Each structure stands twice: as C-alpha cells, then as structure tokens.
C-alpha cells in the first residue's frame, strides 16, 4: 500500500487497484499443483473466480478429486500467494459447481504434461456410466498401441500404462 492505493509491479510498471484481480490471477498462475509441479493450479482450471471487495480478495477454487490429499495444501498456497502481494484480507472459498473436469486443463498445460511424460486426458464424456475406457496415446512416441497396466496410479488423477510401440511405461491422466 502506498498513499492508500495498491501499487504492484505489472510488466515493470506500477499499477493501481483496478488491476488487482489480474495481478492475483497472475500470482495464482505461479502456484504449482503440489502433486504435478509442471502445471499450475490455474493451468488445471482449479481457480474459478477472483473477486475484490474493497481491500479484501476472495478466491474461489474447485477441488479436482474429492479425496485429493493436496486440497489443504492448495488452499494454503492460494492464501499465501495472495498475501505475498501485500493483501491483508484473503478468503479462499471452494465450490463444487460446476464440478471440475479435465476438459478445463488448457492446451499449453496439456503439452507440458505430455513433455513431462504424463499422457494428457482425452475429452471427458459425461454420459451414462460405462464400463469401457477412453483411448490414450503414448506421451513419448504418440502411438495408440498402449496397454493400461493399472487403472489407478500414484495420485487419484492418474493411471499407469505401458506403450507397446516404444516399450516405455508412462502415467496417463484420467478423463473426468
């Protein structure tokens, strides 16, 4: 705060309160997903809204998986990232509506997941409950000749595969 105004560095220029939401978005874009540090919580589509009410910032986020143990870490990280901007009053709210879907993971993040060795999620289909699974591509060689070796993996959001073309094992994102 300088003379009662928000002053923040934005592209090297001091900016005022009008840009606070975009400054907050930018800060949150630097908060990594604790389990997949190559992507941020905004990349994953977990941050749904940033609202500014006087000097108060309200961030609304949505959980990826309801049992995800990283949720409280993410909540604390959001609060800390906003406080680091010099904001004294921060409220982090969670919402379930609309429910998080892997369709919200942006293209840039999908590419980073792939380079990291994780097959990005296929488009999610929210129809009737089906017992069949969606096709997956090897993140290394692009082949569709892959086998799922485990339908659950090291985190709630991933499964394990092996590629029969390049012989490499890899993790794949579930489509939800």
Q: Which residues contribute to the site for other proteins (CB under 8 A)? A: 63, 65-69, 95-101, 124, 126, 128-133, 149-154, 156, 160, 174, 176
Q: How far is the CB of 94 from other proteins (least distance, A)?
A: 9
85 vs 162, beta carbon nearer other proteins? 162
Q: What is the signed CA dihedral for 73, 79, 84, 86, rounded to 10 degrees?
A: -170
DSSP H or E run through 115: helix 107-116
Q: How far is the CB of 128 from other proteins (least distance, A)?
A: 8
34 vs 63, beta carbon nearer other proteins? 63
Q: How far is the CB of 150 from other proteins (least distance, A)?
A: 4
38 vs 160, beta carbon nearer other proteins? 160
* Through-space distance between the first and last CA atoms of the chain, rounded to whole angstroms: 42
Tokens representing 32 are: 């990594």
Q: How far is the CB of 9 from other proteins (least distance, A)?
A: 36
Three-state DSSP at 57 gives strand
12 vs 127, beta carbon nearer other proteins? 127
Distances from the Cα of 1 to the Cαs of 27, 53, 87, 148, 166, in angstroms?
A: 17, 16, 9, 54, 56
Residue 35: φ, ψ to 5°: -95, -20
**Residue 100 CB burial class (10 angstroms; 0-12, 13-18, ≥19):** buried
Q: How far is the CB of 133 from other proteins (least distance, A)?
A: 6
65 vs 116, beta carbon nearer other proteins? 65
Tokens representing 54 are: 């006087």
């Amino acid at each position: 705060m300088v003379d009662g105004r928000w002053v923040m560095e934005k592209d090297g220029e001091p900016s005022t309160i009008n840009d606070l939401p975009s400054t907050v978005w930018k800060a949150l874009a630097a908060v990594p997903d604790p389990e997949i540090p190559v992507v941020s919580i905004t990349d994953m589509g977990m941050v749904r809204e940033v609202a500014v009410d006087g000097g108060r910032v309200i961030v609304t986020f949505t959980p990826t998986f309801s049992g995800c143990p990283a949720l409280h870490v993410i909540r604390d990280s959001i609060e800390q990232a906003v406080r680091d901007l010099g904001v004294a009053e921060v409220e982090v709210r969670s919402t379930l509506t609309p429910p998080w879907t892997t369709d919200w993971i942006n293209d840039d993040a999908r590419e980073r997941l792939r380079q990291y060795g994780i097959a990005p999620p296929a488009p999610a289909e929210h129809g009737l409950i089906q017992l069949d699974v969606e096709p997956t591509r090897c993140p290394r060689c692009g082949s569709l000749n892959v086998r799922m070796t485990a339908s659950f993996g090291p985190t709630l959001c991933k499964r394990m595969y092996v590629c029969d073309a390049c012989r490499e094992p890899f993790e794949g994102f579930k489509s939800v």
